[in-house]
Amino acid sequence: MDWKEIQALRVKKIQELKENAGKPKPKKFHAIAKKSAKKIAQEKAEKEVGSTAQVSRVALEKWFFDIAQKHSILPSGGAVCMECGEWIPPNLIRHATAHLLPKKLFKSVATHELNYLILGAGCGCHEKTHRVDKFVTMKIWPEAARRISIMMPLLPFDELKYLSSQLLTAIENT
């Protein structure tokens, strides 16, 4: 390259800088995946017929259905809150079915016939079960403690770690 070519490139670069002065530099766009590869693989496994996840999901749906049938007052459905007696419409019974031992932590008893209470969300009874200190003050607590006591020997060793000392003490004092 000779001096004239270098000067021409320099002038061109100065013109580009003047044109772009004050303009923000374009940002690079990085798309974030809507689902992780792990989640996609998990969903694929769940869809496979006969997979453990599919079987447990079907068992859980049957468990909710059986409880709704057992506690339906009218032929068309519906139930009452076991704590306060408030009416629960048929379309909300599933949401009102509270697991005594959470299904996410206690998979071995997730669909056990005693692992539930029917507690309404509208009356606030369902929310009181999330903390042991509030749960033990409810009228339904003695029945809940009885059911949990029956299920405790059925828990495998690796699930026992999820039982809080506060819960164990409350059951012992009942």
1-52 pLDDT per residue, tens: 688 888 888 888 888 887 777 777 777 887 888 889 898 988 887 777 665 6
Report yes or no on 5 lying in a domain: no
Report yes or no on 23 lying in a domain: no
Structural domain count of the chain: 1
Q: pTM (2 decimals)? A: 0.68
Report yes or no on 7 lying in a domain: no
The parent domain of residue 62 ranges over 44-172
The angle that helices 165-172 and 141-151 make with each other, rounded to 10 degrees, is 110
98, 117 in Cβ contact below 8 A? yes
Report yes or no on 164 lying in a domain: yes
Report yes or no on 88 lying in a domain: yes
Report yes or no on 2 lying in a domain: no
Report yes or no on 92 lying in a domain: yes
49-97 pLDDT per residue, tens: 665 666 588 899 999 999 999 988 877 778 999 999 999 998 888 889 9
